[in-house]
């Protein structure tokens, strides 16, 4: 297992390297540049060119790339082209926000989805199953922000129980309860989006497992149904969910742009959008590399969790 892990981690280096080249080319070849409005319209073109030359704007892409790479490898993610703020500071302020929102939504989604999936599998074609199934299809078919807007309309406008948006009450010192209060609507509506899918996966996986011989054996030896389902069947039934979890890691950070925007929850999603619209190369590079890293790590985690869930899987 240890050697496997080392090998996988080493493999990440060339992958990240390749990814960074692709991202660098894409980012720098989008039309528009961050310097376009840095200068007033009447700045002497010679002055403008001199300034841009100093900034290295006219250097060939490979040279710019090597400069970026050197800087990044030495731990400096660069500075926002517009504000000069270190990119690392922006990431530091945005990553926790996103993590709080998506993490709680994710946990909530799983806590709800797994029992629901199991119940609708064990009672296939019952009214519970039909209800869950139709609910799940609704969840999958409707655009993800729809639920959020409905939740806002009902619980923040029509019956104003929760705040409409924001992370904390402006101007008040940070209190955990205040943040949790603000978290209810966004986390729940985000959880509902993911829950539908998770529940469906759990259901189909459980349906398959429950028909397997070892489940029949467990029942035959007289184990209570609860133990059969939750201890013996569920452990195997979780394998596809684990895959899903690993693959969800990047969406945990990037898949919430609409939610962040509706709930005024400035996280990585909004940071990305802001950086794209201003063509802030330094931020864009860091954000994209961060997402790439998450994809790779997510896959690795999924692989490791397989081994945990399924004793037949061994890595060497």
Partner 1 sequence: MKRFVVLILTTLMLVTAAAPALAARPEVKYPVTFNGHPVLFDVQPVNVNNRVFVPFRAIFEKMGADVRWDESTRTVTATRGDTTVQLVIGSTTARVNGQARTLDAAPFIQNGRTLVPLRFVSEAFGAEVTYDNATTAISIVDPNWPRRGGTLNLALWNKPAETFNPIIVDEVYADAIVSKVWDGLWRYDERVIPIPALAEAWEWDDTNTVLTFYLRKDVKFHDGTPFTAKDVIFTYKAIWHPRYLGPRNTGWDDVLGWEEYTKGLKGETPENFANGYVTPEGIEGLYALDDYTVVFKLKKPNAVFLESLAYGILDHTKYLNVPVQDFSTARDPNFMKLNGTGPFKLESYVEGQYYILTANKDYFLGAPYVDRIIYRVLDSNVAVGEMQRGTLDMVEFNATEYDAYKNLSNINIVEYPAMQYQYMGFNTVEGPTADKRVRQAIAYAINRDVIIQNIMLNHASALYTPIHPLTWAYTDEVEQYSFNPAKARELLDQAGWTVGPDGIRVKDGQRLRLRLVYPNEGNQARIRTAPVVQQMLKEVGIEVELVGYDFTTVSTKVFEEYDFDLYFIGMSLSIDPDPSDIFGRQAAETPGSFNGVRWWTPKSEDLLARAKATTDIAERTELYHEWQKHFADEMPAYFFYAPTALRATSKRLQNYQPGVQGDWWNIEEIWLSE
Is residue 239 at the binding interface for partner 1, with CB under 8 A as the rule? no
Stretch of 19-27, 29-37, 239-247, 248-256 contacting partner 1, by CB under 8 A: 29-37
- Is the CB of 238 or the CB of 260 nearer to partner 1? 260
Is residue 166 at the binding interface for partner 1, with CB under 8 A as the rule? yes
Stretch of 56-64, 120-128, 156-164, 229-237 contacting partner 1, by CB under 8 A: 156-164
Nearest in space to 245 (alpha carbons), one of 286, 202, 287, 290: 202
Is residue 274 at the binding interface for partner 1, with CB under 8 A as the rule? yes
- Is the CB of 168 or the CB of 204 nearer to partner 1? 168
Shortest CB 162 distance to partner 1, Å: 11
- Distance CA(223)–CA(200), nearest Å, equals 26
Shortest CB 161 distance to partner 1, Å: 11
- Is the CB of 264 or the CB of 293 nearer to partner 1? 264
- Distance CA(179)–CA(157), nearest Å, equals 19
Shortest CB 185 distance to partner 1, Å: 11
Q: For partner 1, which residue of 2, 75, 171, 311 counts as binding (CB under 8 A)? A: 171
Torsional class of 221: left (φ above 0), alpha (ψ -120 to 50), beta (otherwise): alpha
Is residue 294 at the binding interface for partner 1, with CB under 8 A as the rule? no
Which x/- pattern, by CB under 8 A, does the window 34-73 give for partner 1?
--xxxxxxxxxx-x---x----------------------
Q: For the stretch 225-249, what's the b/e string if a residue is b when 16 or more beta carbons lie within 10 angstroms of its beta carbon? A: eeebbbebbbebbbbbbbbbbbebb
Shortest CB 128 distance to partner 1, Å: 34
DSSP-derived 3-state class of residue 86: strand
Residue 156 near residue 185 (C-beta atoms within 8 A):
yes
Q: How many CB atoms lie within 10 A of CB 24?
A: 21
- Is the CB of 177 or the CB of 226 nearer to partner 1? 177
Tokens read off for 249 = 């890691």
**Per CB under 8 A, which of residues 130..149 are in contact with partner 1?**
149
- Distance CA(27)–CA(275), nearest Å, equals 11
- Distance CA(295)–CA(252), nearest Å, equals 10
- Distance CA(25)–CA(62), nearest Å, equals 9
Question: Residue 222 half-sphere exposure, CB side, CA atoms within 13 Å?
Answer: 0
Residue 72 near residue 241 (C-beta atoms within 8 A):
no
Tokens read off for 311 = 């004793």
Is residue 266 at the binding interface for partner 1, with CB under 8 A as the rule? yes
Shortest CB 197 distance to partner 1, Å: 25
Shortest CB 264 distance to partner 1, Å: 5
Stretch of 196-204, 205-213, 219-227, 271-279 contacting partner 1, by CB under 8 A: 271-279
DSSP-derived 3-state class of residue 177: helix
Which x/- pattern, by CB under 8 A, does the window 69-98 give for partner 1?
----------xx-xxxxx------xx----
- Distance CA(76)–CA(69), nearest Å, equals 10
Cα 10–11–15 angle (5° rounding)? 125
Q: For partner 1, which residue of 101, 116, 121, 167 counts as binding (CB under 8 A)? A: 167
The residues binding partner 1 (CB under 8 A) are 30-33, 36-45, 47, 51, 79-80, 82-86, 93-94, 149, 152-153, 156-157, 160, 164-168, 170-171, 261-262, 264, 266, 270-271, 274, 276-279
């Amino acid at each position: 297992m240890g050697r496997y892990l080392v090998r996988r981690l080493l493999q990440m280096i060339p992958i990240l390297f390749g990814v960074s080249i692709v991202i660098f080319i894409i980012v720098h070849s989008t039309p528009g540049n961050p310097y376009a409005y840095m200068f007033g319209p009447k700045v002497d073109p010679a002055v403008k060119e001199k300034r841009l030359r100093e900034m290295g704007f006219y250097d060939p892409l490979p040279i710019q790339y090597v400069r970026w790479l050197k800087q990044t490898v030495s731990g400096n993610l660069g500075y926002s082209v517009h504000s000069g703020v270190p990119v690392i500071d922006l990431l530091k302020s945005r990553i926790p926000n996103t993590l709080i929102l998506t993490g709680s939504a994710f946990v909530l989604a799983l806590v709800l989805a797994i029992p629901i999936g199991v119940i609708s599998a064990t009672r296939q074609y019952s009214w519970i199953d039909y209800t869950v199934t139709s609910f799940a299809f609704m969840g999958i078919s409707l655009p993800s922000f729809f639920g959020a807007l409905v939740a806002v309309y009902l619980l923040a406008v029509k019956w104003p129980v929760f705040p409409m948006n924001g992370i904390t009450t402006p101007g008040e010192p940070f209190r955990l309860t205040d943040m949790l209060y603000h978290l209810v609507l966004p986390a729940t509506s985000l959880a509902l989006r993911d829950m539908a899918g998770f529940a469906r996966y759990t259901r189909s996986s459980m349906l398959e497992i429950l028909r397997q011989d070892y489940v029949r054996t467990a029942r035959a030896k007289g184990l209570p149904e609860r133990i059969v389902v939750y201890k013996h069947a569920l452990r195997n039934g979780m394998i596809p969910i684990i895959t899903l979890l690993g693959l969800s890691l990047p969406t945990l950070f990037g898949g919430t742009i609409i939610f962040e925007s509706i709930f005024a929850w400035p996280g990585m999603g909004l940071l990305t959008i802001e950086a794209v619209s201003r063509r802030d190369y330094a931020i864009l590079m860091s954000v994209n590399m961060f997402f790439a890293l998450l994809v790779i790590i997510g896959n690795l985690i999924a692989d490791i969790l397989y081994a945990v869930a399924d004793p037949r899987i061994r890595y060497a």
